[in-house]
Structure 1
Amino acid sequence: MTQHTLAGRTEQEVLWYQRRSFIQAAAAWTAMGGFAAAHAQQRSNIVELVGDATINGERLLPQRQVQTGDQLATGPGSHLVFAIGNSSFLVRQNSRFSVERGITLNTVSVLRMLTGAVASVWGRGTSRQIVTPTLTAGIRGTGVYTEVRPDEGYRSYFCNCYGTVDMSAGDDRLVSRSSYHQSFWAEAQPQQGRLLAPAAAINHTDEEMEYLARLVNQQTAWEILGRKGVKDGRGYMDPMPADAHPAMQQR
């Protein structure tokens, strides 16, 4: 198992993929054809639900479908894994968010996060975003991990685990190109004149992203390359990259 750093999260939260119930559910999900088969057969697209969650203010049951346009929340000690179209999501405890409709019923245009944490893998597509109170991230096809921290003024943490993301916070704008965990803070108030700042890679694991990618028939960048870099938040495979973190390059 890869090393990981925790900051305000527990081992139990980041090791959810080791649960026997999830391994069995993920195997069944894949064997039964994934989201396309679930949609065609009108089965649930929830891979696993542990604990209590709500959908549009009602209790979420494992047999229900999560659709674009829905508002969801997880309670203490809960987590939720589901897929819509070519995107998959892991929702940690105490999270509130919505999945907004894109060009089709089965395309998520915006993952709008209010509180909590979500790991997600997105297939290629256009006009898709993750939006928090302090950050907008344009997704092109990638795996990312996002946290919103209400106890820190809704400061956001964002890791572009792999792929390309267009990022903005206030007037700060940059493009993140990552092959191995490029991490940012999106501040509620400018720090040294900036709202986007470099961060360490915290609170998520390689294995989480690999399992989420597998649910939608994808692989992470490091699986495709067959190697990993240094998980320091800079986002590069080379332990001594020629380029600085993009938040250090912006003017």
Structure 2
Amino acid sequence: MTQHHLQGRTEKEILWFQRRGFLQAAAAWTAMGGFAAAHAQQRSNVVQMVGDVQVNGRRFSSQQTVQTGDDIQTGPGASLIFVIGNASFQVRQNSRLTVERGRSLTAVSLLRLVTGAVASVWGKGYDRSIVTPTLTAGIRGTGVYTEVFPEQNSRSYFCNCYGVVNMDAGGDAAVSRADYHQAFWGEVEPKNGRMLTPARAINHTDEELEFLAQLIDQRTAWQIAGRKGVKDGKGYMDEQPATPHPAVR
């Protein structure tokens, strides 16, 4: 189990990938052909659902399908894992988000997170975005973790777990190139004159990104490299890289 730090989350919540129910569901999802087969056979694209979930204001069941354009809300203790096209998502409890339609019915162009948290892996493709109350992340193929903290006036957290992401918060912009977890805060008020500031890696694990990648037949950057870096939020394999965190430039 990789090192991880918690802030307002519990071990049980972020270790969802260890549950027997999920492992069985993930194995069945892969064996049945993944999203392409589910879409062709008009089956649900939900890999696993736990607890109370509402979609577009109505109670949702695991036999239904999450579609682009849907508004998703999870209750206390709930979790929702689903796949749309070449992107996979794990929505934490007490979250609300919208997956907006892209170039087709099976492509997400924008994930708008209002509150709560979601881990996601995106296959390669055209530009897409994740938007929170205080930051915007432009992505292509990558794995990320995003969280909005309502108790901190919707201060937003974003970790580019691997890949290239264009970050923006209140006019502060940076290009994030990460091999291993490069993390940012989107501030509500300027901090040392900056709206985009460095963060450490919190509330997510390597293993959950690996499982989400597997659901769309992908591998994480550290799986491909065959090694892991130091999970300090700086985004590099080496502990003391020559390049500083992009939010402090």
TM-score, normalising length: structure 2: 0.99
Distance in 2 between residues matched to 1:97 and 1:151, nearest whole Å: 17
For residue 233 of structure 1, report the CA deviation from its aligned partner. Answer: 0.3
Match of 2:158 in 1: 158
Amino acid at match of 2:45: N
Partner residue of 1:5?
Answer: 5
What SS class does the counterpart of residue 207 from structure 1 fall into? helix
Runs of at least 4 residues off by over 3 Å: none
Indicate the SS of the match to 1:211.
helix
Residue number in structure 2 paired with 1:79 = 79
**How far apart in 2 are the matches of 1:133 and 1:6?**
22
Q: Percent identity?
A: 69
Distance (whole Å) between structure 2 residues aligned to residue 136 and residue 142 of structure 1: 15
1:137-176 matches, cutoff 5 A: 137-176=137-176
2:80 aligns to what SS in structure 1?
A: strand
Show the counterpart of 2:38.
38
- Tell me the CA shift for residue 170 of structure 1: 1.3
**Distance (Å, rounded) in 2 between the aligned partners of 1:137 and 1:125:** 15
Q: Which residue of 2 aligns with 1:17?
A: 17
Pairing of 1:96-115 with structure 2 (within 5 A): 96-115=96-115
Output one character per residue of 1:213-249: Cα deviation in whole Å (capped at 9) or x when no partner.
0000000000000000000000000111010000011
**Equivalent position of 2:89 in the other structure:** 89
For 2:80 and 2:26, the matched residues in 1 are separated by 13
**Counterpart Cα distance in 1 of 2:171 and 2:132:** 15
Equivalenced residue count is 249
Quote the RMSD (CA, aligned, Å): 0.5
Please, which runs of 5 or more residues in structure 1 have no aligned partner?
Answer: none
Distance 1:196 1:237 in 2: 22
Question: What one-letter code is carried by the residue in structure 1 that aligns with 2:161?
Answer: C
Q: Normalising by structure 1, what TM-score?
A: 0.98
Q: 1:130 is paired with a residue of what secondary structure?
A: strand
TM-fit CA distance, 1:126: 1.5
